[in-house]
Amino acid sequence: MLLPVEPGPSVVVCNTCRHSAEVREDEDGRRGGAVLAEAMRAAQAADPALQGVAVQEMPCLFACQRHCTVAIRAPGKLGYVLGDFAPDAEAARAILEYAVRHAASEEGQVPYREWPQGVKGHFITRTPPEGYLGT
């Protein structure tokens, strides 16, 4: 079932992702993806510059081998799936910083020199927006 959301820049967090390859849930029974989404919202609450990107959650992005997976998207822009994150404040901030730059870019391409260190090495796929192909 699809749930309608407001169009606009967003980070979709897989809220059923594991904490790591070895650990599925924390001591409170929370999955890593749900913890990462909470950390992202806390980062946004602490820094208004990160609030222009919606944090959305859905179960399973089908990248189970790459735990704590997120999809970064915005209308008319290239989208990206990233994974292998620890569900912590550092990862949350890096993801949101990249997503803000992505939203501000013309087509969804952020120059490598502007990538936060915390997202480097975490990219899994790049997806074209509907009606377009990347060049």
> Any idea what the CATH number is for the domain that residue 97 is in?
3.40.30.10
Number of domains within the chain = 1
Whether pLDDT at 121 is above 80: yes
Is 59 a domain residue?
yes
Is 66 a domain residue?
yes
Contact assessment for residue 67 and residue 32, using Cβ atoms and an 8 Å cutoff: yes
3-state helix, strand, coil in the chain (%, to 5): 30, 20, 50
Overall average pLDDT of the 105-122 stretch: 97
Overall average pLDDT of the 91-100 stretch: 98
Is 1 a domain residue?
no
Is 70 a domain residue?
yes
Q: According to the model, what pLDDT value does residue 133 have?
A: 87
Overall average pLDDT of the 64-79 stretch: 95
- Helices within 32-79 (DSSP H only): 32-46
Per the structure, the complete domain to which residue 63 belongs is given by 10-127
How many angstroms from the chain centroid is the CA of residue 116? 13
